[in-house]
Structure 1
Amino acid sequence: MGSGFLGKDGLKYQVFPMTPADLDRVVCIERLSFTHPWTMTQFLEELNRQPLARCLVSARGKGACGYVMAWLVVDELHITNLAVDPSVRGRGVARGLITTLIRNTRSEGAVWSALEVRESNLAARALYKGLGFTVLGSRKGYYPDGEDALVMGMEM
């Protein structure tokens, strides 16, 4: 079952559970977004991590324009991946995906959410802060290129 949100551009974006049919587009967005992108195999493994995986795509028209991947472990939501197609960045797609994910998992009993974000990713850090996440610490050399990750979390 899908839900949706109104983007900053005034357009309606739909949010649906990710399926294998979405993966070609998701992998394309991943490659456009990251220097060390996840592979098709990694996305398939995440989708198959039931009952832990919570994977959503956002779309307006044909195909995904963004996605979020997470695990729900007991009462903690751990966001593992989030990306938006560069052509629609700044329109509220990431915020809509995370807000939908939090709303859905809160109804499943989640009370806490956590994630890692590149220290240099100021746009993502601002997004997470605006959603209520705070910096809890860091993971030195977390990313393949040696960059540190900030660990952020929030009560839901």
Structure 2
Amino acid sequence: MNVRKPLAPLRQSLLIPDDWRPCLDLDRASLGGLWSASQWQIELADQGRPGVGLWRGEHLLAMACGWLVLDELHITLVAVAPEQRRRGLGGRVLEALLEIARASGALHATLEVAPGNGAAVALYRRCGFLDAGLRRGYYRNGDDALIQWLRLTASKDEEPGCG
């Protein structure tokens, strides 16, 4: 008899220094390894660099990280496990990160994304990000980066949803 086992519920939490290994693993699986182990440890230890993770049990399924600099959140990455994509998880962690930025007094958010990454560009546009410019040859492989910008309001209710 084939009986389906129910999935554990999803748990959203702030990323903490002890989460460096799951972050490194998800980074490698979904983004090809942007940061090293030591970079992840530094990132997660800095209070000015918030991160949000979406977990099922001990498995990190999605994360969004950024740097708070004065009145800006600079989003450094949004990653979703390849087998979990197209389920709204990226939008969930991005919305949570934007809420942290609002609560911290950030007035706007910025990010860079490869113009050819259609799924990411579509997600950011659903969240209300606008194109602000292009950085030529920005990425290691020589690809350009589309700069996007979002004005953050005091209330999440005034923002477009990322879902």
**TM-score tier after normalising by the smaller chain length:** 0.7 to 0.9
For the pair 1:62 / 2:58, whether they are aligned, the reply is: yes
For the pair 1:73 / 2:94, whether they are aligned, the reply is: no
The answer to whether the 8 Å contact 2:65/2:77 transfers is: yes
TM-superposed CA distance for 1:12, in Å, is 5.2
Whole-Å Cα distance in 2 between the matches of residues 121 and 141 of structure 1?
A: 15
Unaligned runs of 5+ in 2: 1-7, 153-163
The answer to whether the 8 Å contact 2:53/2:63 transfers is: yes
| TM-score, normalisation: structure 1 | 0.86
Structure 2 match to 1:7: none
Structure number with bigger Rg: 2
Q: Residue 43 of structure 1 aligns to a residue in which SS? A: helix
Please tell me the residue identity of whatever aligns with 2:31. F
Higher fraction of strand: 1
The answer to whether the 8 Å contact 2:51/2:66 transfers is: yes
TM-superposed CA distance for 1:123, in Å, is 0.4
Whole-Å Cα distance in 1 between the matches of residues 52 and 68 of structure 2?
A: 13
Whole-Å Cα distance in 2 between the matches of residues 97 and 67 of structure 1?
A: 6
Structure 1 match to 2:157: none
For the pair 1:92 / 2:88, whether they are aligned, the reply is: yes
The one of 109, 126, 139 equivalent to 1:113 is 109
| TM-score, normalisation: structure 2 | 0.83
For the pair 1:146 / 2:152, whether they are aligned, the reply is: no
Unaligned runs of 5+ in 1: 1-10
TM-superposed CA distance for 1:35, in Å, is 3.5
The answer to whether the 8 Å contact 2:62/2:90 transfers is: yes
| 1:19-30 equivalence runs, <5 A | 19-30=16-27
TM-superposed CA distance for 1:76, in Å, is 0.7
Q: Residue 35 of structure 2 aligns to a residue in which SS? A: coil
TM-superposed CA distance for 1:107, in Å, is 1.5
Q: Deviations over 1:109-131 (max 9, x none)?
A: 11100000012101000000000
What is the alpha-carbon root mean square deviation over aligned residues?
1.5
Structure 2 match to 1:123: 119
Q: Extract structure 1 runs of 4+ deviating beyond 4 A.
A: none
Matched residue count? 145
The answer to whether the 8 Å contact 1:22/1:63 transfers is: no
For the pair 1:49 / 2:50, whether they are aligned, the reply is: no
Whole-Å Cα distance in 2 between the matches of residues 122 and 142 of structure 1?
A: 17
The one of 133, 137, 148 equivalent to 1:137 is 133
